[in-house]
Amino acid sequence: MDLGINGKVAIVTGSGQGIGRDTALALAEEGVKVCINDVNDELGNETAEDIRKAGGTAIYVHGDIGAEADIKELFARTAKELGTVDILVNNAAISPKVPFEEIPAEQFEKVLKVNLLGAFLCSQQAFYQMKEKRWGRIISLSSMAGRFGANKAGVHYSSSKAGIIGMTLSLAKKMGPYNITVNCVAPGRINTALTKVLPQEVQDQIRSQIPLGRIGEPSEVASVITFLASEKAGYVSGACVDILGGYIA
């Protein structure tokens, strides 16, 4: 199926690994020119190189989504080398595993700065470019923790991901008149580096709570994001799509 986004330009933050990487690869398969962003240069360059080896177009731009100057540079470099952005995927996030009563204020602030403020600032930069073209797609990563509260994740992480949902609803109203759709996805347990570090007994416990009987794959989240970025999803805006394998908290 032609998703109608061949030749569009996308920025995927935190796309050196996991869901971000698979999303960048999926968009590139649709003919999208992708800017890979990460703080890990080795992983970020590897993703960009894999896209180029497959015949796609990609660049890598180092940048901390918790730093406003880095965000501005990310969008400036993308516009210069690929063109102004059409698709933004706010994926970059941090998730320190610290009990509620031990979370220091500065760590809470850091999580909000990367996960929520960073997504807001990226969306702001994207809006400047998208509104001139009267076309755009913004998809942000929320989480099961943002929908139902933290379990294994920290309170600061779940708070930031709940904020993503509220921001998505507000931006969908603001950007709709410019033909820009704004959505988010809320993955449950996905087979990423963060999940793999959990003890096997914890992974087994998590798996037992999922009706489909397995942990999801990053590619399964990426396919939903790619659809939301497409022309086929032109009337979907202000939505939060749960990707939970049937799990309801």
Which one from 60, 157, 178, 247 is the annotated catalytic residue? 157
SS3 readout for 169-215: HHHHHHHHHHCEEEEEEEECCECCHHHHCCCHHHHHHHHHCCCCCCC
Neighbour count for residue 77 (Cβ, 10 Å) = 18
Angle at 123 between CA 35 and CA 33, to 5 degrees: 20
Contact (Cβ atoms closer than 8 angstroms) between residue 89 and residue 137: no
Question: What are phi and psi for residue 65, nearest 5 degrees?
Answer: -70, -5
Among 159, 157, 178, 179, smallest CA distance to 167 is for: 159
Region at 110 (left for phi over 0; alpha for psi -120 to 50; beta for the rest): alpha
Query: CB-based contacts of 242: which residues, under 8 Å, 6+ apart?
Result: 144, 147, 185, 186, 188
Residue 157 designated active-site: yes
Neighbour count for residue 75 (Cβ, 10 Å) = 23
Report the catalytic residues: 157
